[in-house]
C-alpha cells in the first residue's frame, strides 16, 4: 500500500514552472529518495506535501484519502533551512514545540530527555540555543520532528552540517524509524546516503520527473555489461588474443595493478569472456560493475539537459 500518492502535480510561480505534471507513489514503511539538482522542484514538491503551498493542478492522496489539513498531524517535516529561537533555552523550546504537536507536557519532558540522552546532549537542556553548534541544533530539530511518531517523515538534507560519526548515528535512527513502521521521504544530494538508505527514488529535473523506481532495479537497468578482472601472470597486449567483440574500457595492466575493465555485447555471456581470458592469465577476481546512483544521477540529468 502507498502512504502518499501525487498525480500530475503542477505548480507555476510567475514566469517559472516549478513542477510539471509530476506523479509519484511512496510505499508505506519505505525510505523514498526525492532527488534532483538545485532548482529542480524538490523543495516545492515537499512544501506541497506539507500543505504549505497548494498545487495549481493535480491530485494528492494520503493513505488513500484526498490530502487534507487534518493529515498534517500525521506528517513530520525537517526542512533544509533550520530554525530555532536562539534566545530560548533548549529544553523550554523543545517542550514548547512538542506541545504544538499535541504531546502533553509530562510526556514531552519524558520523551525529550530520553532522546537528548540518546544523542548525548542532555547536559545542554538549560543552555540557550545560540550556544549550541549547528550540529547540536540539528539534532534537536530532528528529535522534535520525530517525537510525535508521525506516519510520514520528510527529511530535507538531514545530514547537512554533521560530522561522519553523527551522520552514522542519524542514519541508524532513520533505519530504526522505518523498522518501527514510519515512512520516510528523504531529499539529499548525497548519493552515497541514497545507496545506503533508500528503497525507492524519484529523480526530478527541470520541474519534471525523469526517473523513478526501486534503487536496486534502477541500478540493474543502467548497468552496461562491464566487468572488472583482477589477474596475475600477464603483462602483454590484451588485443593480441581478446575476442574483438569484447571492448576494453580501461586497462590498468602495469607494474602496480593487474586489472582490466571489459564490456561484452548483450548476446555474449560472462562465461565466454572468462574462457577467452583463462589460457593467458590467472583470474583472481571477476566482478560485474554496477553503476552507482551518483553515476546514474549525472547521466540522467545530462541526458535531460541535452533534449
**Would you say residue 120 has pLDDT above 70?**
yes
Residue 278: which pLDDT band, with cuts at 50, 70 and 90? very high
Three-class secondary structure assignment of 168-216: HHHHHHHHHHHHCCCEEEEECCCHHHHHHHCCEEEEEECCEEEEEEEHH
More confident residue, 235 or 296: 296
Please tell me the predicted confidence (pLDDT) of residue 136: 86
How far is 125 from 95, CA to CA, in rounded Å? 11
Helix axes 134-146, 90-100, angle to 10 degrees: 30
The H or E element containing residue 10 is strand 2-13
Residue 254: which pLDDT band, with cuts at 50, 70 and 90? low
What share of the chain in percent tops pLDDT 70?
97
**Would you say residue 162 has pLDDT above 60?**
yes
Find the mean pLDDT for residues 294-304: 92
Give percent helix, percent strand, percent coil of the chain, each to the nearest 5: 35, 30, 35
Find the mean pLDDT for residues 94-108: 92
How far is 6 from 10, CA to CA, in rounded Å? 10
- Starting at the edge strand found earlier in the chain, the sheet holding 65-66 runs 16-27, 2-13, 57-62, 65-66
Q: 35 near 203, Cβ under 8 Å?
A: yes
Please tell me the predicted confidence (pLDDT) of residue 232: 86
- Starting at the edge strand found earlier in the chain, the sheet holding 259-263 runs 247-251, 259-263, 226-232, 282-288
DSSP code for 292: P
Residue 213's DSSP bridge partners are: 201
pLDDT digits (tens, 9 = 90+) for 184-227: 999 988 888 999 999 999 999 999 999 999 999 999 999 999 99
Phi and psi based region of residue 174 (left: phi greater than 0; alpha: psi -120 to 50; beta: remaining): alpha
pLDDT digits (tens, 9 = 90+) for 128-146: 988 988 888 888 999 999 9
Q: What is the mean pLDDT of the chain?
A: 91
pLDDT digits (tens, 9 = 90+) for 11-29: 999 888 999 999 999 999 9
Residue 212 sits at the vertex; the CA angle it makes with 210 and 217, to the nearest 5 degrees, is 130
Q: Tell me if residue 109 falls in helix, strand or coil.
A: helix
Residue 212's DSSP bridge partners are: 202
Q: Can you list the domains of the chain with their CATH numbers?
A: 2-220 (3.40.50.300), 224-288 (3.30.70)
Residue 247: which pLDDT band, with cuts at 50, 70 and 90? very high
Neighbours of 126 (CB within 10 A): 9
Residue 83: which pLDDT band, with cuts at 50, 70 and 90? confident
Query: For 17-130, where are the alpha helices, taking DSSP H only?
Result: 42-49, 90-100, 105-118
**Residue 173, C-alpha cell as written in the block:** 535512527
pTM of the model: 0.88
75-78/152-156 β-pairing: parallel
More confident residue, 44 or 83: 44
Amino acid at each position: 500500500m502507498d502512504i502518499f500518492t501525487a498525480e500530475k502535480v503542477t505548480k507555476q510561480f510567475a514566469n517559472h514552472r516549478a513542477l510539471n505534471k509530476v506523479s509519484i507513489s511512496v510505499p508505506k514503511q519505505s525510505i523514498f529518495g526525492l532527488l534532483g539538482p538545485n532548482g529542480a522542484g524538490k523543495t516545492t514538491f515537499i512544501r506541497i506535501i506539507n500543505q504549505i503551498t497548494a498545487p495549481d493542478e493535480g491530485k494528492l492522496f494520503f493513505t488513500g484519502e484526498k490530502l487534507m489539513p487534518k493529515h498534517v498531524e500525521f506528517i513530520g517535516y525537517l526542512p533544509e533551512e533550520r530554525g530555532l529561537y536562539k534566545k530560548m533555552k533548549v529544553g523550554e523550546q523543545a517542550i514548547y514545540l512538542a506541545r504544538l504537536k499535541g504531546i502533553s507536557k509530562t510526556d514531552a519532558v519524558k520523551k525529550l530527555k530520553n532522546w537528548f540522552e540518546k544523542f548525548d546532549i542532555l547536559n545542554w537542556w538549560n543552555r540557550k540555543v545560540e550556544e549550541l553548534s549547528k550540529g547540536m541544533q540539528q539534532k534537536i530539530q530532528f528529535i522534535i520532528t520525530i517525537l510525535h511518531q508521525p506516519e510520514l517523515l520528510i527529511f530535507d538534507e538531514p545530514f547537512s552540517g554533521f560530522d561522519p560519526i553523527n551522520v552514522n548515528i542519524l542514519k541508524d535512527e532513520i533505519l530504526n524509524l522505518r523498522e518501527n513502521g514510519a515512512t520516510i521521504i528523504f531529499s539529499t544530494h548525497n548519493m552515497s546516503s541514497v545507496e545506503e538508505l533508500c528503497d525507492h527514488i524519484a529523480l526530478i529535473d527541470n520541474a519534471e520527473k525523469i526517473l523513478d523506481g526501486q534503487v536496486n532495479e534502477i541500478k540493474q537497468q543502467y548497468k552496461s555489461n562491464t566487468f572488472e578482472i583482477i589477474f596475475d601472470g600477464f603483462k602483454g597486449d590484451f588485443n593480441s588474443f581478446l575476442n574483438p567483440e569484447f571492448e576494453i574500457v580501461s586497462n590498468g595492466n602495469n607494474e602496480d595493478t593487474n586489472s582490466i575493465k571489459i564490456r561484452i555485447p548483450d548476446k555474449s555471456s560472462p562465461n565466454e569472456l572468462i574462457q577467452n581470458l583463462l589460457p593467458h592469465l590467472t583470474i583472481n577476481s571477476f566482478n560485474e560493475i554496477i553503476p552507482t546512483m551518483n553515476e546514474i544521477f549525472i547521466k540522467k540529468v545530462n541526458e535531460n539537459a541535452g533534449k
